[in-house]
Structure 1
């Protein structure tokens, strides 16, 4: 491995030490509906993000709230001595990707059939500490 490549890899490892993530795979909600809620919490501090998700009436907000709590718990496991309030964590990145699609058939008039696509998604939520560059 070259020197520049090794230095870059070490820099990425150091950056990942301040990031904590959680994943949700094969969630049976369409990615479009999930992205509506993900866009609301992207870049927010965790207490504000939890309030947004808690008081939203959409079903996808319940799943994202659970995922955010899981990411906070992952942070607490690595930083047992620190408190969440003092850490100044925020949602650095939240990605919603399309998952598997269940293909079903629905009867249509005159003996035809229409294909129904039941979509699912994968959500990756990344928390980061040191809120120096964020201005919320």
Structure 2
């Protein structure tokens, strides 16, 4: 690995240590259905997002709710002694990427077969603190 590439990799590693995030990999839901739920909570306060997900009838909302709780726990572990209420956490980033696809065959009329694609996705949630964002903008 070259020197510049190594320096950039170390910078990315240090930046990642400061962020509180959680990743859900290979979730057996289509990315389109998951993005509908992700768009609901993008940029919303954490407590309000949890309430929205709890009462959302979609099955994908249950998985995102569990992932959001995991991201909150990761934030608490990094920031020992701080309370979630005082930090005013919000969902800074949430994005859904496509994952592997299971390909299956379904019988069709006249001896044919249709391909069924069972999609899956990866979800990433990054939390941000409004107090930290305000401190950066003041400087």
TM-score by length of 2: 0.84
The number of aligned residues is: 130
Per-residue deviation, 1:55: 0.7
Gaps of 5+ in 2: none
User: Relative to total residues, which structure has the larger helix share, 1 or 2?
Assistant: 2
Local SS of the residue matching 1:66:
helix
* Distance (Å, rounded) in 1 between the aligned partners of 2:92 and 2:109: 49
Q: Give the TM-score normalised by the residue count of structure 1.
A: 0.86
Q: Bigger CA drift: 78-87 or 21-30?
A: 78-87
Unaligned 5+ residue runs, structure 1?
none
Contact 2:20 2:78 survives alignment (8 Å): no
Moved over 4 A (4+): 12-18
Q: How far is the alpha carbon of 1:88 from its aligned partner? A: 1.1
Residue 59 of structure 2 is matched in structure 1 by 59
Aligned to 1:36: 36
Q: CA RMSD in A?
A: 2.1
Q: Is the Cα–Cα contact under 8 Å of residues 89 and 131 in structure 1 kept in the other structure?
A: no
